[in-house]
Amino acid sequence: MMLRSLIKSLGVSCALLLAAPTLAKPTFEQYVEAFKVEAVDQGYDRVFLDEVFANVKYRKSAVKKDRNQPEFKVTLDTYLPKRLPQWKVDRAVKLAKEHAELLQKVSAHYGVQPRFIVALWGMESNFGKIQGNYPVISSLSTMAYDGRREAFFRKQLFSALKIIREGHIEEPDFKGSWAGATGQSQFIPSSCLNYAQDFNGDGKKDIWKDEADVFASIANYLKTEGWDNSSTWGRQVFMPQGFDTKLTGLKRDKMKTLAQWQALGIRRLDGRDLPERDIKASLIMPDDENGRIYLVYENFHTLMDWNRSTYFGASVGHLADRIKLGR
């Protein structure tokens, strides 16, 4: 009898031991609780954390959006008219005029032309109108729990806590995209901490409601990442038939001077010579040799730091050009 029960209990402990390495994934609530414990270890106040996470919810739709990003074939010729319709150009021109004084001040302070600030503002949030409706704490907790990019989203969640603790925004107002991009500049929380500015001097870096802070934060990002306001972003160019496409690409060792590109047969879109300026440029083909071809300068590399998509960079560049043109 005793032996039997011993074997039985041994059997049970063996089963437990075997089960241990494959413990079930914690529930979302358990995951959030464990995160809070870690945050306390990092010096966050428990009461503060309970308040911040009081309304945290698992957002299934955020995970769905992360997993269903469009994979269908897009080209610049279909992307640009969609992302940059005439109404957006008109609005950009109008707003650049309305905010001219403030933009000049920001531009002088950071060394970034106003048209690029307005172009990024327009592309990121439709000039502040679309900032996303996901509560940032919930979307980041969800994405971290989902686990596909856990380390990245945990870092963003810690940055979000810091933003709230520093008093730039209160939790109920802290909204953004499903992936946690927030404010009129659509910064992820770590970018808020690195680049957001308090330009109106009220003590808050308010990238959600205050235009002075928004413009300064965008400009500060560009300046910090190497923007040069004596130059522009690049231009669409003509590439001759049979051109060696191995020369294209954003890698630094493929950059050449405008004179070198000129000698290789690259021309402005209307056939004229390239500008005679001693600057280096990359030749890029976001689609293929039959699609749009661009010569892009150092500033375009800075735009790639903001968002890795060459489509996005070209859109910002085209919008900035249209603002300069005034139509």
Q: How far is residue 157 CA from its own chain's centroid?
A: 16
Sign of the C-alpha dihedral computed for residues 301, 307, 311 and 312 taken in this order: negative
**In the 3-class helix/strand/coil scheme, how is 236-276 assigned residue by residue?**
EEECCCCCCHHHCCCCHHHCEEHHHHHHCCCEECCCCCCCC
Answer yes or no: are the C-beta atoms of 173 and 52 closer than 8 Å.
Answer: no
Residue with tokens 């709230």: 164
Cβ at position 203, least distance to Ca ion in Å: 7
Helix (H) or strand (E) holding 323: helix 310-325
> Does 200 sit near Ca ion (CB under 5 A)?
yes
Nearest to 139 by CA among 152, 121, 122: 152
Cβ at position 183, least distance to Ca ion in Å: 12
Retrieve residue 176's tokens: 């953004």
Total number of residues that touch Ca ion (CB under 5 A)? 6
Query: Based on CB atoms, which residue is closest to Ca ion, 124 or 206?
Result: 206
Pairing of strands 234-238, 134-135: unpaired
Q: Which residue is nearest to Ca ion (CB)?
A: 198
Cβ at position 170, least distance to Ca ion in Å: 15
Cα–Cα distance between 255 and 244 in angstroms, integer? 14
Strand residue runs (E) in 169-218? 175-176
> Does 198 sit near Ca ion (CB under 5 A)?
yes
Query: Based on CB atoms, which residue is closest to Ca ion, 166 or 228?
Result: 166
Cβ at position 23, least distance to Ca ion in Å: 47
Cβ at position 120, least distance to Ca ion in Å: 19
> Does 209 sit near Ca ion (CB under 5 A)?
no
Q: Which stretch binds Ca ion (CB under 5 A): 153-161, 174-182, 201-209, 253-261?
A: 201-209
Q: How many CB atoms lie within 10 A of CB 7?
A: 10
Q: Which residues contact 279 (CB under 8 A, 6 or more apart)?
A: 231, 257, 258, 297, 298
Query: Based on CB atoms, which residue is closest to Ca ion, 107 or 139?
Result: 107
Query: Based on CB atoms, which residue is closest to Ca ion, 159 or 197?
Result: 197
> Does 204 sit near Ca ion (CB under 5 A)?
yes
Cα–Cα distance between 320 and 92 in angstroms, integer? 9
Query: Based on CB atoms, which residue is closest to Ca ion, 131 or 139?
Result: 131
Cβ at position 193, least distance to Ca ion in Å: 15
Cβ at position 206, least distance to Ca ion in Å: 5
Among 146, 171, 213, 298, binds Ca ion (CB under 5 A): 213
Query: Based on CB atoms, which residue is closest to Ca ion, 206 or 211?
Result: 206
Query: Based on CB atoms, which residue is closest to Ca ion, 198 or 321?
Result: 198
Q: Which stretch binds Ca ion (CB under 5 A): 9-17, 34-42, 85-93, 204-212?
A: 204-212
> Does 211 sit near Ca ion (CB under 5 A)?
no
Cα–Cα distance between 300 and 304 in angstroms, integer? 6
Retrieve residue 117's tokens: 């600030």
Footprint of Ca ion on 72-101 (CB under 5 A): none
Q: How many CB atoms lie within 10 A of CB 234?
A: 23
Footprint of Ca ion on 150-169 (CB under 5 A): none
Among 146, 206, 211, 298, binds Ca ion (CB under 5 A): 206
Query: Based on CB atoms, which residue is closest to Ca ion, 35 or 199?
Result: 199
Query: Based on CB atoms, which residue is closest to Ca ion, 198 or 305?
Result: 198
Which residues would be at the binding site for Ca ion (CB under 5 A)?
198, 200, 202, 204, 206, 213
